[in-house]
A and B are shown apart, each in its own frame.
Chain A
Amino acid sequence: MSHYAIEVQDLKKEFAIKKKNVSFWKRRKENKSFVAVNDISFNVNKGEIFGFLGPNGAGKTTTIKMISTLLRPTCGKILINGLDVQKNSMEILKNLGTVLAGERSIYWKLTGRENLKYFAAMNGITGKKAKEKIDYLLKRFSLDKRADETVEKYSTGMKQRIALAKALVADPPIVILDEPTSGLDPQSARNLREIILEFKEEGRTILLTTHYMEEADQLSDRIAIIDHGEIIALDTPKNLKRSLNKSNTITFELNRWNDVIEKELQQIKSIENINSYFDENNRKWEVKVQINNGNETINNLITTITNSNIKINNFKFEEPTLEDVFINLTGKSLRE
């Protein structure tokens, strides 16, 4: 048995694009192809949350569909619990709970309960066992009160939760989630993220895609940043941010400022840079200090300022974000 839940080796997906140039006299068919996923490799450890972060069209869904047997790779290899996905698809599907993006993965004309009953049976779970499981899931995902209404009447958040319950009905050790929080309001998104963390606590392995960097940062043990079908970075969120070699920035709002204090602060070793600016409108100083060794300097900094009889009205601490990492790697913003 492999100690990886998912192993992906040199995975590639090329889509054929048929472009028809129709003119009256001749019909030329150009066959072009588009590489959606280009030679990616990564391993997901058992029990971790592995995040796939990338902009629209990066190839996240394509990768996920290949892992969950819905798409055949052009080349490359995928192993799940050591088994080859192409050769053992039925065996593998028993171990995977996949939720694809969009809210259309369940029957809208069936009730929540009926959906779960159907998908339980499709996994060989019936009778009393199924009933217990379904009651438990409905309760867990706060759907029990409306379990007997058809899904078409559900809100987006409820639809997402029933889809999640569906994926969990066979108790799969590996859960794959494609953009689980997209389209949800902040509150529902937060609830969902909590649920995902619970999955992890239950010992499941989770592979999720997202284009929200905060989400990837908050949830993932490790993150693969993907762009144009290629993994351009793969590490823990902390290491990714550290790799930027960017210092933290502290912004102070102060009632006064002068060169003497600035000189004094410059004596502190880990301070890299000081920028001061007087805000005419609000009659206050804004001072940006860049430090490179994290939190130890902060105390020193504040003591020095207050000892000079300067009042600190406000201060803000900024760490580099995954967004910065992405910009650094690709030269563009994740949101573009």
Chain B
Amino acid sequence: MKWQKLKFYMTTIWAITIKDIKIFFRYPINAIFRIVEPIMWITPVYFLAKSFQIGGENIGFKLFSGTSDYMAFLIIGSIIASFVSAILWGMGFSLKNEMDSGVLESNWLTPVPLLVQMIGRSIFSVIITLINSLIVAFLVWLIFGFEIGNGIVSAVITLFPMLIALYGIGFGIASLVLITNNANNVIDITNYLLNSISGNRFPVEILPRVILAVSLALPLTYGFDSVRGILLETNTLLPLYQEQLILVLFMFVGTAIGYFILNKVEKYCKTIGNIGHY
């Protein structure tokens, strides 16, 4: 019985992904933009980094981080950050879209729990992000080259619980767009908070004390930090194993919080009746 249910949920997640892919490519301009987008934002940052370098090394940067390869530091930060955005932005936006176009109700009328529907919706946006990231990483490596320690596998393992946690929280936050009129605000604010404060483009040590405290309370900070520690051998805030432990804990807490918010939002929407037109 349990197994059948799981199989059913996998079927629906697959169906949602296929549907998202089809719709994605029926807006060709949008599709092209989403794929080349990361190349567009990485370019100016690269030249910025380049301009601060002295003799090929970024001295000031090295004092804080322990590596002078700002480019690699940045790329890793950006890849993680784009996963965060994909989960928040992609899902929140697609939810809002479906709500505005009226198909959200049709989905809520299927015998599939909302959580499973949310997982389904996030799959495709993560796939796109993965493709984005690989393209960027590859291009940058091809043109400028940077060295990565051979810790790819342990970096991925370290990141895994964090991504799960982000999913959890992401579902909750994405669902918040259903109860505000402005999806973009919710997404922008949370995205900014999560990414910037936890240091996707700079070592958090340079933050003012108060903000640093907030930053250290965000598990995402340890995600950025530990992965850089592994790949670039930067100095980490805490010993690596402690950061990894935090991320695992975060996985449980994060999914629980996300699930909690999602349920609340669903109840709220069904109480005020805002997801359909009336």
Q: A104-B103, A106-B106, A107-B19 are in contact. Are A122 and B112 (CB under 8 A)?
A: yes
On whether the beta carbons of B103 and A70 are closer than 8 Å, the reply is no
Asked if A105 contacts B103 (CB within 8 A), the reply is yes
A91-B111 CB under 8 A given contacts A72-B267, A110-B23: yes
Tell me if B181 is interfacial: C-beta within 8 Å of chain A.
Answer: no
Which parts of B35-92 form the interface with A (CB within 8 Å)? none
Known: A104-B102, A109-B23. A70 touches B108 (CB 8 A): yes
Q: Which among B102, B110, B272 has the greatest number of chain A C-beta atoms within 10 A?
A: B110
B101 and chain A: residue at smallest CB distance: A104
Q: Are B276 and A118 in contact (CB under 8 A)?
A: no
Tell me the bound Cα distance from A91 to B5 in angstroms.
12
The yes or no answer to A44 lying at the interface (CB within 8 A) is no
**With A93-B111, A108-B101, A119-B110: A150-B26 Cβ-Cβ less than 8 Å:** yes
For residue B12, CB closer than 8 A to chain A, the reply is: yes
**A38 within 8 A of partner (CB):** no
- Given A102-B102, A124-B8, CB of A70 within 8 Å of CB of B19: no
Candidates B14, B23, B272, B273; contact of A121 at CB < 8 Å: B14
Contact call B109/A98, Cβ cutoff below 8 A: yes
Task: Say how far B103's CB is from chain A's closest CB, in angstroms.
Answer: 6
Q: Contact at A121–B270, with CB atoms within 8 Å?
A: no
Check B102–A105 contact: CB distance below 8 A: yes
Q: Confirm or deny: B156 has a beta carbon within 8 angstroms of a beta carbon on chain A.
A: no
**A70 lies within 8 A of B111 (CB):** no
B101 touching A90, Cβ below 8 Å:
no
B209 touches A (CB below 8 Å): no
**Which residues on the B side are within 8 Å of A90 (C-beta)?**
111-113
Taking the complex as formed, is A114 at the interface, i.e. its CB lies under 8 A from any CB of chain B? yes
- Give the residue name and chain of the B residue nearest to A100 (CB): B105
Residues of A100-146 at the interface with B, using a CB-CB cut-off of 8 Å, are: 100, 102, 104-110, 114, 117-119, 121-124, 126
Contact call A118/B15, Cβ cutoff below 8 A: yes
- Contacts A104-B103, A109-B23 given: A122-B110 contact, CB under 8 Å? yes
B271 at the interface (CB under 8 A from A): yes
* Contact among B16, B101, B110, B270 for A123, CB-based, below 8 A: B110
Q: Among residues 225 to 278 in chain B, which have CB atoms less than 8 Å away from a CB atom of chain A? A: 267, 270-273, 275-278
Within 8 A of A (CB), among B80-128: 101-103, 105-113
Q: How far is the CA of A94 from the CA of B22 in the complex (A)?
A: 26
The answer to whether A123 touches B111, judged by C-beta atoms less than 8 angstroms apart, is yes
Given A16-B272, A121-B12, A122-B12, A94:B111 Cβ within 8 A: yes
Q: Which residues of B contact A94 (CB under 8 A)?
A: 111
Docked pose: A331 CA to B27 CA in angstroms: 53
What chain B residues lie within 8 Å of A108 (beta carbons)?
A: 101
Measured between alpha carbons, how far is A62 from B276 in the docked complex, in Å? Answer: 11
| Most chain B beta carbons < 10 A, residue from A68, A107, A114 | A107
Given A121-B12, A122-B12, A166-B106: A110 and B111 interface contact (C-beta under 8 Å): no
What DSSP secondary structure best describes chain B's contact surface? helix
Q: Which of B16-36 contact A (CB under 8 A)?
A: 16, 18-19, 22-23, 26-27
Asked if A42 is at the interface (CB within 8 A of a chain B CB), the reply is: no
A121 close to B15 (CB less than 8 A)? yes
- Within 8 Å CB of B18, what residues of A? 118
Q: Which residues in A have their C-beta under 8 angstroms from that of B184?
A: none
- Assess whether A65 is interfacial by the CB under 8 Å rule: yes
Taking a contact as CB atoms under 8 Å apart, the answer to whether B270 and A72 are in contact is yes
B11 beta carbon closer than 8 Å to chain A: yes
Provided the pairs A72-B267, A124-B11, A150-B26 are in contact, do residues A106 and B277 lie with their beta carbons within 8 angstroms? no
Residue A96 CB within 8 A of the other chain? yes
Q: Which residues of A contact B276 (CB under 8 A)?
A: 65, 70, 100
A61 sits at the interface (CB 8 A): yes
CB-defined contacts of B109 to chain A, threshold 8 Å: 68-70, 93, 96, 98
**Which A residues touch B22, using CB under 8 A?**
109-110, 114
Cα A107 to Cα B94 in complex, Å, equals 13
Complex: how many Å from CA A240 to CA B5? 47
Would A109 and B111 count as touching, CB distance under 8 A? no
Q: How far is the CB of B124 from chain A (nearest CB, A)?
A: 13
Q: In chain A, what residue has the closest Cβ to B4? A: A124
Residue picked from A69, A93, A117, A118, most chain B C-beta under 10 Å: A118
Interchain CA distance A106-B101 in the complex, whole Å: 9
Q: Nearest-CB distance from A320 to chain B (Å)?
A: 33
Q: Given A61, A98, A122, which contacts B278 in the complex, CB threshold below 8 Å?
A: A61
User: Contact at A71–B270, with CB atoms within 8 Å?
Assistant: yes
Shortest Cβ distance from residue B45 to the other chain A in the assembled complex, whole angstroms: 34
**Inside 8 A of B27's CB, which chain A residues have their CB?**
109
A15 interface residue per 8 A CB criterion: yes
Would you list which residues of chain A between 50 and 108 have a CB under 8 Å from chain B?
61-62, 65, 68-72, 90-91, 93-94, 96, 98, 100, 102, 104-108
Q: List 16 A-B contacts (CB under 8 A).
A: A62-B278, A69-B109, A70-B275, A100-B106, A102-B102, A106-B106, A107-B101, A109-B23, A109-B26, A110-B19, A121-B12, A121-B15, A122-B15, A122-B107, A122-B112, A124-B11
Closest 5 pairs (CB-CB, A-B): A104-B102, A121-B15, A122-B110, A93-B111, A72-B270
Q: Which residues of A contact B (CB under 8 A)?
A: 15-16, 61-62, 65, 68-72, 90-91, 93-94, 96, 98, 100, 102, 104-110, 114, 117-119, 121-124, 126, 150, 166
> A90-B111, A122-B110 are known contacts; what are 18 more A-B pairs with Cβ within 8 Å?
A70-B105, A71-B270, A72-B271, A93-B109, A93-B110, A93-B111, A107-B23, A108-B101, A110-B19, A114-B19, A118-B16, A119-B110, A121-B15, A122-B16, A122-B107, A122-B111, A122-B112, A124-B8
